[in-house]
Structure 1
Amino acid sequence: MGFAKNQQISYGKNENVVLTNSNLGFQIKTLNYPPHGGLFASIGQNSTTNICPSNSEESNGFKVPYMDLYLKYVNSIVGGEEEEKSEAEANKKKKKGLKLKIKVGNPSLRRLISGAVAGAVSRTAVAPLETIRTHLMVGSSGHSASDVFHDIMKTDGWNGLFRGNFINVIRVAPSKAIELFIYDSVNKKLTPKAGEQPKIPISPSFIAGACAGVTSTILTYPLELVKTRLTIQRGVYNGIVDAFVKIIREEGPGELYRGLGPSVIGVIPYAASNYFAYDTLRKAYRKFFKQEKIGNIETLLIGSLAGAISSSATFPLEVARKHMQAGAVSNREVYKNVLHALASIVEKEGVQGLYRGLGPSCLKLVPAAGISFMCYEACKRVLVEDGDEA
Structure 2
Amino acid sequence: MSTHRAHLKDEGTKLQVVSAGAIAGLVSRFVIAPLDVVKIRLQLQPHSLSDPLAPLREAPAYFGTVVTLKHILRHEGITGLWKGNVPAELMYVCYAAVQFTTYRSMTLFLRTALPTRLPDSAESFIAGATSGAAATGVTYPLDLLRTRFAAQGRHRIYKSLRSAIWDIKTDEGWKGFFRGLTPALGQIIPFMGIFFTTYEGLRVQLAGFNMPWGGEDATAGIVGSVIAKTAVFPLDLVRKRIQVQGPTRSKYVYNNIPVYTTALRGIWMIARTEGIRGLYRGLPISLIKAAPASAVTLWTYERSLKMVMNLDSSREALM
If the length of structure 2 is used for normalisation, what is the TM-score? 0.82
**Could you tell me whether the CA contact under 8 Å between 2:203 and 2:216 is conserved in 1?**
no
Aligned-residue offset at 1:153:
0.8
**Could you tell me whether the CA contact under 8 Å between 1:190 and 1:204 is conserved in 2?**
yes
Aligned-residue offset at 1:150:
1.6
Give 1:174's aligned residue.
94
Give 1:134's aligned residue.
40
Give 1:278's aligned residue.
199
Is 1:226–2:153 an aligned residue pair? no
Once the two structures are superposed, the pairs formed by residues 177-216 of structure 1 within 5 Å of their partners are: 177-191=97-111, 197-199=116-118, 203-216=122-135
Aligned counterparts of 2:298 and 2:93: Cα–Cα separation in 1: 13
One-letter code of the match for 1:335? Y
Once the two structures are superposed, the pairs formed by residues 317-356 of structure 1 within 5 Å of their partners are: 317-327=235-245, 328-329=249-250, 330-356=255-281
Give 2:291's aligned residue.
366
Over residues 18-54 of structure 1, what are the superposed CA-to-partner deviations in whole Å (9 max), with x where a residue is unaligned? xxxxxxxxxxxxxxxxxxxxxxxxxxxxxxxxxxxxx
Once the two structures are superposed, the pairs formed by residues 1-390 of structure 1 within 5 Å of their partners are: 107-139=13-45, 142-191=62-111, 197-199=116-118, 203-234=122-153, 235-286=156-207, 288-289=208-209, 295-327=213-245, 328-329=249-250, 330-384=255-309, 385-386=312-313
Aligned-residue offset at 1:295:
4.5
Aligned-residue offset at 1:332:
2.5
**Could you tell me whether the CA contact under 8 Å between 2:44 and 2:257 is conserved in 1?**
no
Aligned counterparts of 1:160 and 1:332: Cα–Cα separation in 2: 21
- Secondary structure of 1:383 counterpart: helix
**Could you tell me whether the CA contact under 8 Å between 2:37 and 2:83 is conserved in 1?**
yes
Aligned counterparts of 1:267 and 1:121: Cα–Cα separation in 2: 21
Over residues 364-389 of structure 1, what are the superposed CA-to-partner deviations in whole Å (9 max), with x where a residue is unaligned? 01110111000110011111143699
Aligned-residue offset at 1:199:
4.1
Q: Which has the higher contact order (CA 8 A, sep 6+)?
A: 2
Aligned counterparts of 2:272 and 2:118: Cα–Cα separation in 1: 45
Over residues 156-192 of structure 1, what are the superposed CA-to-partner deviations in whole Å (9 max), with x where a residue is unaligned? 1111111111211011101111001111221233248
- Structure 1 residues without counterparts, runs of 5 or longer: 1-105
One-letter code of the match for 1:220? T
- Secondary structure of 1:203 counterpart: helix
Higher helix share: 2
Aligned-residue offset at 1:251:
2.3
- Secondary structure of 1:275 counterpart: helix
Sort the Cα spacing of 1:114 and 1:201 in 2 relative to 1 into closer, same or farther, 3 A.
closer
- How many equivalent pairs are there? 279
- Structure 2 residues without counterparts, runs of 5 or longer: 1-11, 46-58
Q: Sequence identity, in percent?
A: 29
Q: CA RMSD in A?
A: 2.3
One-letter code of the match for 2:72? I
Give 2:3's aligned residue.
none
Sort the Cα spacing of 1:280 and 1:377 in 2 relative to 1 into closer, same or farther, 3 A.
same
Higher strand share: 1
**Could you tell me whether the CA contact under 8 Å between 1:190 and 1:200 is conserved in 2?**
no
